[in-house]
């Protein structure tokens, strides 16, 4: 796992398939972001090939939690196998998906310009 920050945008690179073995680590990492002060969060899944159902639940819940706090989250770096899983669970219906980190950051930077921080 690697973290990067770009202004009010934070990026977490998750580098392993999300399975029973690391699901609690993933949950803890996602909780840290959804409960933290970050306004925009990008979860980059570039190298990973598989997410189990609990992982999907954590992602969905994180998106909903951030929106409740007037924050936003996106997913980037989706490969073919993850795209197939996301297609089945229809994540496209409520989660912003981007082919790479740059596209996600560009999107949130544009959003920041539309909604500048008052702090």
Partner 1 sequence: MTIPPFASSGKGEGPAMKLTKPLTASLSEASEFLADRLFQSIMEGVMVTNVEGKILFINPAFTEITGFDKEVIGLTPRVIRSGKHSEAFYKNIWDSIARHGQWKGEIWNKRKDGQFYVQWTTITVIKDEKGKPLFYASVFTDISAKKEAEQQLQEDLRLARKVQKELLSQPIRNQDIHITGAYLPSTMIGGDLYVWYQLNEHEYSLFVLDVMGHGITSALLAVSIRSLLRSVLYETVKPANVLEKMNSHVYSLFKSQQATLRTYFISGIYVHIDTDAKQIRYASAGHPPGLFIDYTGDVTELESSCPPLGMIEQIEVKEGQFDYEGRAVLVLYTDGLIEHGEQTVGAAIEELKKMVRQHRHLESEQIICQLLKEKKYSRNPNTFEDDITIVTAILY
Cα–Cα distance, 23 to 37 (Å, whole number): 23
Under the criterion CB under 8 A, does residue 106 sit at the interface with partner 1?
A: no
| Binding-residue total with partner 1 (CB under 8 A) | 29
Under the criterion CB under 8 A, does residue 57 sit at the interface with partner 1?
A: yes
Under the criterion CB under 8 A, does residue 94 sit at the interface with partner 1?
A: yes
Under the criterion CB under 8 A, does residue 65 sit at the interface with partner 1?
A: yes
| Nearest distance from C-beta of residue 112 to partner 1, angstroms | 25
């Amino acid at each position: 796992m690697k973290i990067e920050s770009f202004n009010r945008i934070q990026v977490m690179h998750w580098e392993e398939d999300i399975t029973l073995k690391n699901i609690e680590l993933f949950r803890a990492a996602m909780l840290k972001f959804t409960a933290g002060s970050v306004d925009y969060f990008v979860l980059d899944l570039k190298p990973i090939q598989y997410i189990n159902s609990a992982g999907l639940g954590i992602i969905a819940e994180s998106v909903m939690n951030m929106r409740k706090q007037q924050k936003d989250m996106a997913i980037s770096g989706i490969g073919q196998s993850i795209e197939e899983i996301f297609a089945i669970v229809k994540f496209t219906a409520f989660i912003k998906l981007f082919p790479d980190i740059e596209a996600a950051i560009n999107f949130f930077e544009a959003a920041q310009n539309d909604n500048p921080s008052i702090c």
